[in-house]
Chains A and B, each alone.
Chain A
Amino acid sequence: MNLMEKLEFKFPAQAGKTSPITALCGVVGSGNLEILVRTGSDADVCEVSIKTSARGFGEIWQAVLTDFAEHNPAGGTRIFINDMGATPAVVSLRLGQALTEYLGVAQ
């Protein structure tokens, strides 16, 4: 039995630099989440795959990620999220940290 919900999103986003690294932020623990950022296939798109233990919050994920893609140079990234019921505040904070780490070592 798989209790995890899987969600997929694609957002237009301002193209950022491409980075050679894969950035990893956060931990998989109750109320927390793990975010992995690596280079995506389309420079103007931020593509996100989510596995979450908290089912039924697709609309809120959509809103949080839309806001993130609007306000950050997240184009050209492929993002994977393993969530254990993090609140939107934690998600936004981690997304910011993960993208910074990813872009921080860009050429």
Chain B
Amino acid sequence: MNPPSSSRNWDSLRQGHARRLARAASLDLPRQLPAEQIVSLLEAVIEPGDRVCLEGNNQKQADFLAESLASCNPAVLHDLHMLMSVLALPSHVDLFERGLARKLDFSFSGPQGSRLARLVQDRQIEIGAIHTYLELFGRYFMDLTPNVCLIAAQAADAAGNLYTGPNTEDTPAIVEATAFKGGIVIAQVNELRESLPRVDVPAGWVDFVVVAPHPNYIEPLFTRDPAQITEVQVLMAMMAIKGIYAEYGVKRLNHGIGFDTAAIELLLPTYAADLGLKGKICTHWALNPHPTLIPAIEAGFIESVHCFGSEVGMDAYTAARSDVFFTGADGSMRSNRAFSQTAGLYACDMFIGSTLQMDLAGNSSTATLGRIAGFGGAPNMGSDPHGRRHVSPAWLKAGREASGSGAIRGRKLVVQMVETFREHMAPVFVDRLDAWALQESMGAELPPIMIYGDDVSHIVTEEGIANLLLCRSPEEREQAIRGVSGFTKVGMARDKRAVENLRDRGIIRRPADLGIDPRLATRDLLAARSIKDLVRCSGGLYAPPGRFRNW
């Protein structure tokens, strides 16, 4: 009698891999192929209905492969299910408009948010789900394993080994999920080299390499010009440092993108140092190499930084500061988004970032009507991980504030830092998030909330700090939020007595309660006041991109 499984083919994925390679071979497409042949290769190895992971996030983009895929013949390639960290390039949207791809699972779509929303309304695209980065990577190893991945590396050698350089980012996670489950790995590289500085992806995991006609695009997303930091941002940074960083002794943290947190970075060697906080706060980071971090690093404030990706212009600086940044034996930095997100989730005591809207439960969202923006990494960093077990003073203190001295777990500090009105007098604090209207128009089951209110520990505005950990009822939380919402409609609708009571209990703290005189919040406190200051501070190692040079 045959064993019950004999009729089943147990290596169909491997056979599929061989079948795809055989089709490429029948067209005489070599493992290292010229750019002109890339469309033929994609049409040969990709099959209709495939899950295709196209590498690209808010930094590095496999842009040549994206453009090439978008120019394939929709009669040959169709119904593709795209897996993408970030839908950022026009070619990404072209895939759907041209009928090559039908379904999308992703985490962020910033620059293409409006086009994406239109495609959804016109039913030209089916959205699987919007994820955080780490969540999407996780699904690559579960139910969204790619059949084919299209990735970007700095260089390849003749054997097909890849060097990803400082911008390694998502590549290891994508390649691992694809190469070990019968998938095809295709890499675009900027150059071929006889020998690589180091091997980031071994040749055995890579099926095809193409030298792109232009270097892969990298967005300088984390560069903030200190010249644009306002006095209100300096004031909020002072409050955050004195009222949160110092009080909890926050040593391990992640900062969001933006001028609010850039102001904090630039106050570390000045204001925070004057408060005697050097060595007591901000020693270990999960953070991209923000140029605004340079003064704090040079002042010896910062011991270690692990990066999701690199930042344009920072490569020579990070290479020259290998005690601080993770660097290879070759000297260049190695980033890794999956690991840095893991560090941000489990090994950081605080996340602090900004948002566009917040409601009276503390839920926040960057979704606006007519744009599907997505999440990126913020919900992961900005959440309290219930799987955490190791103790730190900051985590313990926050946990005891939330649940009393008998608390059996700590709490991550999740801080939202916003001026109560954005530009054009758009209020940040609102009764109802635009995310709800977006949910209706998308037909989604849940509104796209960036950070859930029950994860938020503190809100910092120009009016003060609200400590939500100390609130004991939803009504108290609501008044605590109203109490720092300034002159927004929801702020003016506060119960003044309740807010004063919260202030007496230290749940709301005004600048004066923290010993801060708002009139002293001037740009003079910033350790650098221009991009040129940052270059000078780096000893000339930081080489800002052209658009940030105004001298």
**What residues of chain A have their CB less than 8 Å away from a CB belonging to chain B?**
31, 54, 57, 60, 63-64, 67, 85, 87-90, 92-93, 96-97, 100
Contacts and interface: CB of A to CB of B under 8 A. Distances in A.
Contact of B492 (A31, A63, A92, A93): A63
A34 B511 CA distance: 24
B423 A88 contact: no
Contacts of B230: 31, 90
20 contacts: A31-B423, A54-B424, A54-B425, A63-B492, A85-B423, A87-B232, A87-B421, A87-B422, A88-B421, A88-B487, A89-B232, A89-B421, A89-B463, A90-B230, A92-B462, A93-B231, A93-B519, A96-B518, A96-B519, A100-B519
Interface of B: 230-232, 235, 419-425, 461-463, 486-487, 492, 518-519, 521
Contacts of A63: 487, 492
Contact of A93 (B232, B420, B424): B232
Nearest to A98: B519
Nearest to A63: B487
Contact of A97 (B424, B461, B487, B519): B519
Contacts of A97: 519
Given A87-B422, A87-B425, 11 more contacts: A63-B492, A85-B423, A85-B424, A87-B232, A87-B421, A88-B486, A89-B421, A89-B462, A93-B231, A93-B235, A96-B518
B235 to A, nearest CB: 7
A67 B230 CA distance: 22
A89 B486 contact: yes
Contacts of B463: 89
Contacts of B492: 63
B interface, over-half SS: mixed
Contacts of B486: 88-89
Contacts of B462: 89, 92-93
A100 B420 CA distance: 24
Nearest to B422: A87
B477 to A, nearest CB: 23
Nearest to B522: A97
A88 B420 contact: yes
Nearest to B423: A31
A interface, over-half SS: helix
B95 to A, nearest CB: 38
A54 B426 CA distance: 12
A97 B422 CA distance: 22
A89 B419 contact: yes
A107 to B, nearest CB: 21
A83 to B, nearest CB: 11
Nearest to B424: A85
A28 to B, nearest CB: 16
Contact of B419 (A85, A87, A100): A87
A20 B162 CA distance: 73
B487 A90 contact: no
A57 B425 contact: yes
A6 to B, nearest CB: 18
Contacts of B521: 93
Contacts of A88: 420-421, 486-487
A104 B32 CA distance: 74
A71 to B, nearest CB: 10
Given A54-B425, A57-B425, A89 B519 contact: no
A90 to B, nearest CB: 6
A87 B235 CA distance: 14
Nearest to A88: B487
A26 to B, nearest CB: 10
4 tightest A-B contacts by CB?
A89-B462, A87-B421, A88-B487, A89-B232
B487 A60 contact: yes
Contacts of A96: 518-519
Contacts of B425: 54, 57, 60, 85, 87
Contacts of A85: 423-425
A54 B461 CA distance: 22
Nearest to B492: A63
Contacts of A67: 487
Contacts of B518: 92-93, 96
B545 to A, nearest CB: 24
Contacts of A90: 230-232
Nearest to A71: B512
A35 to B, nearest CB: 13
B420 A87 contact: yes
A85 B518 CA distance: 20
A56 B421 CA distance: 15
